[in-house]
Each structure stands twice: as C-alpha cells, then as structure tokens.
Amino acid sequence: MPDVSSPNAVRVASSTHDDPEMAVRAVMGAMDLPDLAGVMLFCSSRYPVAALGEALSRRADGHVVIGCTSSGEITPAGLAEGSLTAIGFPASDFQLDALCLDGIAGINSALVHRDVRRLAADAEARARQRWGDIHQAGLFLIDGLSAQEELLTLTIQSALGPVPLVGGSSGDDLDFRETFVFHQSHFRADAAVVALLSSRRPLHVFRSQHFQPGPGRMVITRADPVNRIVHEINAEPAAAEYARLIGARVADLTPALFASHPPVVKIGGEFYARSIRSANADGSLTFYGAIDEGVVLTLGETGDIVANLESLFDELELKLGRIDRVLGFDCVLNGLEIRQRQITEHVSRLYAARGVVGFNTYGEQLRTLHMNQTFSGLAIGSD
C-alpha cells in the first residue's frame, strides 16, 4: 500500500464529473499546485479538448502541467473510463522540467537531440545543487496516431544518456480519430512532451508482459512500413493468414481477439509484441508499431495477468523498499483482455492497493523501444 500519511507523499486525484470545468476544479483543487513541482494528467477522450484545455490553462497558472488523452485511466481507486486523473510531485522532493515537441511528423531529430540534451543538463545541474545525489527519469507522452514513436524514443533516449526514458502514446478509446498531448496551455496533436523528473528519492523504470512466444510462425512478405500496414503474411493476404493461424474467421477479427493472440518479435534475446490495431477492408492489417517486410513474427500465447502483476509489484518493492506511487502506462489491449477474461475487478483492486496511477495507451516506450501489450512505468520510492 502507498503511504498517504506523509505530507510529502506524491499526490493523486481523479474526477468523473461530466463537465470539464467541474472535473478540473475537483482534480486541480486536490493537487494544491503551489506546493508541487508539476502535475501529469490523464484525460478521457470523452471530454471536449478545447473546453478541457481552457479549464486546465486557467488553473495551471504557470506551473508545469503536462498530460494526454487516454483510452481508459488508472485512478487512485483502480481502473476507470471517462475520468480526469492526475499525479502531482511535491516540490520538496521533486523537480519536473518539460519540453514540448510540435510538428513531429516532419521534425528534425538532430534539433530534438540538441534540445533534450540542454533540458537534461539544466535539470541535472539544478537538482544536484538542491540535493547532491539525485535520481532521474525521463517521462514521455506522444500523439498516439503520429507513428513517430520509434524515431523520437531512440532520439530522446540518446540525448538523455544514462537517464532512462519511459512513457506512453495517447489514446482515444479505440476510435483512432484524434489523440492529443497537453503542455501548459492547450492540447496539441502531432506533438510530444518530454519531461525530466528529478528527485532525492529512488526511481525505477520497469516493463512487464504476460505473454510468451508460441509455435505459430509469421513472415511479413509485403508491407507499407510508413503507414504500419501489412498486406501479406507468409505470401498470403495478411488478415486471412493471421485468422487461419489463430483458428478464426476474418469476419471475427476484433481488437479483443488481437489482444489474445499478439504477434511477437525477438529483439536482443527478448520477445516484444507487435500488436495489430485493425483488420482493413482490403484484407490488410494495421499495426500499432513499426513493421517491415522480412520481419519474422511468432504468435504469442497469453499467461496469467494477475500473477504476473503481483510478481512485478513484489519485485519493485524488493528493489526500492517502500513505494509511494507507481506511474503506469498500460496498453489498451491489456485492458481489452482483462475485460474479456472478466478479471477487471481483481486487477482494479490490485492497482489501487499498489498505488498505481496512469492510463491505457496506444503504445508504451521504455528506453529506446516502442512496445505494445506491456505494463510499463516508473516506481517512485517513499521519502
């Protein structure tokens, strides 16, 4: 359980009020901004972003406030949909520095590298002046429909050097129409936010997944890498071949089915999901992440979600001791599978008991990798 009795505890708040102004008042009022180094927000896509952005801008009042739209939120009470949820970092123990990257579709990676290095150098100098020994982590939020995660994750981690990067791609409840990040004053599409969290407390980034490679083998034989579309698998129409391999009909392919049968790729001795976003009318498949011709995939087999999470939280406590909060980036496909297995209440209680706050993503980032179907995040030690 997180220690909420400490006056320096990481602050969390959530509201399901339908009116954006009322939701912002409830959440930001609970944050007590003047005492915080900054706030990160997770915003249901049901809220109109213009009205929500205006309400947040009025409340931010020059403080560091970042966030994104979501496909479900992890609140202090557990899993939720349709909420505005926040996590705030007390200025006594934390420093939050943020940089917004606009126009990422045509962004210059060399300039991003330069700007992030400057941000990191300045943040480190000021934090060391305050505390001497420090812990740092990079936090990353990106437009989940931008298809720029791989390029920016690699560039930003290179600029951060030894400071690990972790984050998530913004969502819109599987509508795949508009996804946004928030920085200071308004919501932005085609944008990303990089933040440096510095602290005197221990910080630990992590990645967890509950699937393993199975026997089914898939070779991408025709693809459109720019748009993350696969036209052929094993020299057959992609959707039909994938459906055959999992024992389903093309007409039955849904996000929930994709979640239960994730294609996985081996990178550096470990397996990572290359999750499918949608089956298209022309028989192709659209993926959440980078895909190319010649890539060899294996059909993943999912395991025990709850046991995997319990093991993860136990390991984090062994590493950090008492944990204040866990900032979590949980793939939207995990959420679908949790509902499909009818274990939502169990997982929700577990997240609440372990102090998790975060959102359901269109992809997760850890260090140089853009991934899917992971539960990734940052564990924050108690003071």
pLDDT of residue 8: 83
Query: Of 46, 19, 41, whose CA–CA distance to 30 is shortest?
Result: 41
Helices (H) and strands (E) in the chain, counts: 9, 26
Q: What is the pLDDT of residues 257-302, one digit of tens each?
A: 999 999 999 888 888 999 999 999 999 999 999 999 999 999 988 8
Contact predicate 33/59, CB 8 Å: yes
Task: Output the six-digit token pair for 336.
Answer: 């679908």
Position with higher pLDDT, 204 vs 5: 204
Q: What is the pLDDT of residues 119-176, one digit of tens each?
A: 999 999 999 999 999 999 999 999 999 999 999 999 999 999 999 999 999 999 999 9
Contact predicate 356/246, CB 8 Å: no
pLDDT of residue 111: 97
Residue 278 DSSP label? E
- How far apart (Å, rounded) are the C-alpha atoms in residues 7 and 93? 11
Run of H or E including 18 = none
Contact predicate 87/328, CB 8 Å: no
Sheet holding 135-142, edge to edge: 94-102, 191-199, 135-142, 165-169, 364-366, 369-371
Mean pLDDT of the chain: 95
The pLDDT of residue 7 is above 80: no
Q: What is the pLDDT of residues 210-238, one digit of tens each?
A: 988 888 899 999 999 999 999 999 999 99
Grouping H, G, I as helix, E, B as strand and the rest as coil, residue 44 is: strand
Q: At what angle do helices 344-353 and 305-320 cross, to 10 degrees?
A: 10
Q: What is the pLDDT of residues 346-373, one digit of tens each?
A: 999 999 999 999 999 999 999 999 999 9
| Residues 6+ positions from 360 with CB-CB distance below 8 Å | 70, 71, 72, 73, 74, 171, 330, 331, 332, 334, 335
The three-state (H, E, C) secondary structure of 64-98, written as one string: CEEEEEECCEEECCEEECCCEEEEEEECCCEEEEE
Q: What are the boundaries of each domain within the chain?
A: 11-207+307-381, 211-302
pLDDT of residue 184: 87
pLDDT of residue 211: 87
Q: Give the pairing type, strands 135-142 and 191-199.
A: antiparallel
Q: What is the pLDDT of residues 174-213, one digit of tens each?
A: 999 999 999 988 999 999 999 999 999 999 999 999 988 8
Burial (0-12, 13-18, 19+ Cβ within 10 Å), 21: middle
The pLDDT of residue 326 is above 80: yes
Grouping H, G, I as helix, E, B as strand and the rest as coil, residue 5 is: coil
Query: Of 101, 116, 197, whose CA–CA distance to 156 is shortest?
Result: 116
- How far apart (Å, rounded) are the C-alpha atoms in residues 341 and 320? 31
Q: What is the pLDDT of residues 92-129, one digit of tens each?
A: 999 999 999 999 999 999 999 999 999 999 999 999 99
pLDDT of residue 267: 87
Which residues are bridge partners to 73 per DSSP?
80, 359
pLDDT of residue 213: 86
The pLDDT of residue 4 is above 70: no
Distance in Å from the first CA to the final CA of the chain:
14
Where on the phi/psi map is residue 149: left (φ > 0), alpha (ψ -120 to 50), or beta?
A: alpha
pLDDT of residue 303: 86
Exposure of 362 in the CB half-sphere (CA atoms within 13 A): 34
